[in-house]
Amino acid sequence: MMSSIVLISLEKFFGKNHVIKNLNLEIKHGEFVTLLGPSGCGKTTTLRMIAGFEKPSSGEIKIEDRTVFSSEKKINIPPEERNIGMVFQNYAVWPHMTVFDNVAYPLKIRKLPKGKIKEKVMRMLDIVKLTGLESRYPYQLSGGQQQRVAFARALVFSPSILLLDEPLSNLDAKLREEMRFEVKDLQKRLGITVVYVTHDQSEAMAMSDRVVILKDGIIQQIGTPLEIYENPINEFVADFIGNANFFLISVNNNIAVIEKLEGSQKVAVKNIENGSYKAIVRPEDIILGSGEGKGRILKRAFLGKEIVYTIISGDTTFKVIAPKEQLFDENENVSFNIKKLVVLKK
């Protein structure tokens, strides 16, 4: 499969601040890839370098097998010539223009005939479910509708790549969840490559084919949402993605003994050398009401179909996610069994 985007040894300095460090990434045609990480990790800077809004300090960027930036070859193709659509966090729709004129703008500056502009705009408005609203102004639209206008404008000229910089963060929680599915559906129907920036792990996990975890300008891990959730490469990734309990363990002959707990807790592991390690256990991988572990319920919180329990055992406090039918009272003693853990690399 052809690559849509290739980033080679990208570096970016803002003065003495080294924000992107030897970043290498290959994105296939039609992939939905999310750059995920905390504020200041370099995800938006990376997106802006792909778009051409930020000039890398060094390295190379290829889009559809065409070099658009190379420090060595002194190539820097401007943003308008990279055939990229972009949607920003604040929508950036023009308040003085109607929906039609907002969406038509990229076609007008490309000097397409009026008939062709109308045909393309109306088709795109139909795709983003805004048919009938073409004469309205942005102030007459909801937040979700304004966001659709921004998507339509970014896609109307048939770009090869769509870059999205936290486009849903200004929407309320319910609409944000609805728009996740709409964005993913739109991407699939158009077959377009998407690079998405967010600090919201649930967005990344729900929408992405692959997730790129960044910290301090360095890629920590690249993988499918399931790979990253079930096999985080280090403590940062484990803690950033989902809920994680951290335990100290001793491994001997592929048996991990969890330390500082009341009662015996042994879990089989594979291909781990004997020694001491830190491990993570997801809250749903601890079973309450059976096993040799002994603990006490400190807190409980109802989350619809699930209950989150905070348990103390020995010197260790950890969380367990259990079905709502499995009801324990606060301060009640409870047995537990840890069925799965992930050993973190030293």
Which has the closest alpha carbon to 201: 31, 2, 43?
Answer: 43
15 and 158 part of one domain? yes
Both 111 and 201 in one domain: the answer is yes
Q: What is the pLDDT of residue 182?
A: 85
Q: Which of 210, 239, 268 is the last residue of a domain?
A: 239
Residues 232 and 268 in one domain: no
Q: In the prediction, which pLDDT does 311 show?
A: 97
Q: How is residue 319 written in tokens?
A: 């969380």
Contact 154, 85 (CB under 8 A): yes
pLDDT of residue 205: 93
pLDDT for position 336: 96
| H/E stretch holding 300 | strand 286-303
Strands 84-87 vs 75-76: parallel, antiparallel or unpaired: unpaired
Tokens at 72, concatenated? 């060595």
Chain Cα centroid distance, residue 313: 34
The residues, ordered by sequence, that sit 6+ positions from 218 with a Cβ below 8 Å of its Cβ are: 21, 22, 23
| Predicted local distance difference test score (pLDDT) of residue 144 | 86
DSSP 262: B
Q: Which tokens hold the place of 82? A: 């990279």
- Of residues 256, 243, 263, the one with CA closest to residue 313: 263
Can you give the residue range of the structural domain that contains 299?
Answer: 243-343
Find the angle CA(220)-CA(241)-CA(286) to the nearest 5 degrees. 125
| Residues 83 and 67 occupy one common structural domain | yes
Whether 120 and 142 share a structural domain: yes
CA atoms within a 13 Å half-sphere pointing along the CA-CB vector of 321:
13
Residues 256 and 188 in one domain: no
Domain boundary among 239, 266, 289: 239
Q: Is the separation of the CB atoms in 47 and 194 below 8 Å?
A: no
Question: Are the CB atoms for 46 and 37 separated by under 8 Å?
Answer: no
Examine the domain organization and report whether 233 and 302 are in the same domain.
Answer: no
Q: What's the rounded Cα separation, in Å, for the pair 98 and 249? A: 62
CATH number of residue 279's parent domain: 2.40.50.140
Residues 72 and 101 in one domain: yes
Is the same domain home to 209 and 260?
Answer: no
3-state DSSP assignment of residue 86: strand
Amino acid 181: pLDDT: 87
pLDDT at position 175, please? 80
pLDDT value at position 167?
Answer: 86
Out of 190, 219, 239, a domain closes at: 239
**273 and 196 in a common domain:** no
Residue identified by tokens 């404008």 is 153
Please tell me whether residues 60 and 207 are part of one structural domain: yes
Burial of 320 (0-12, 13-18, 19+ CB in 10 A): buried
Shared domain for 210 and 259, answered yes or no, is no
The Cα 279–Cα 285 span in angstroms is 13
What is the tally of structural domains in the chain? 2
Which residues have CB under 8 Å from 257's CB, separation 6+? Answer: 249, 250, 251, 264, 265, 266
Three-state secondary-structure class, residue 303 = strand
Residue 1's pLDDT is 59
Give the angle subtended at the CA of 152 by the CAs of 162 and 131, to the nearest 5°.
Answer: 155
Quote the pLDDT of residue 186.
87
Integer CA distances (angstroms), 193 to 179, 210, 213, in order: 18, 12, 19
| 253 and 326 Cβ atoms separated by less than 8 Å | no
Q: Which CATH number covers residue 171?
A: 3.40.50.300
Count CB neighbours of 91 within 10 A: 20
pLDDT values of the chain reduced to their tens digit, one per residue, 346 residues? 578 999 999 999 999 999 999 999 999 999 999 999 999 999 999 999 999 999 999 999 999 999 999 999 999 999 999 999 999 877 778 999 999 999 999 999 999 999 999 999 999 999 988 999 999 999 999 888 998 899 999 999 989 899 999 888 877 878 888 888 888 988 998 899 999 999 889 899 999 999 999 999 999 999 999 999 999 999 999 999 989 999 999 999 999 999 999 998 999 999 899 999 999 999 999 999 999 999 999 999 998 889 999 999 998 999 999 998 899 999 999 999 999 999 997 6
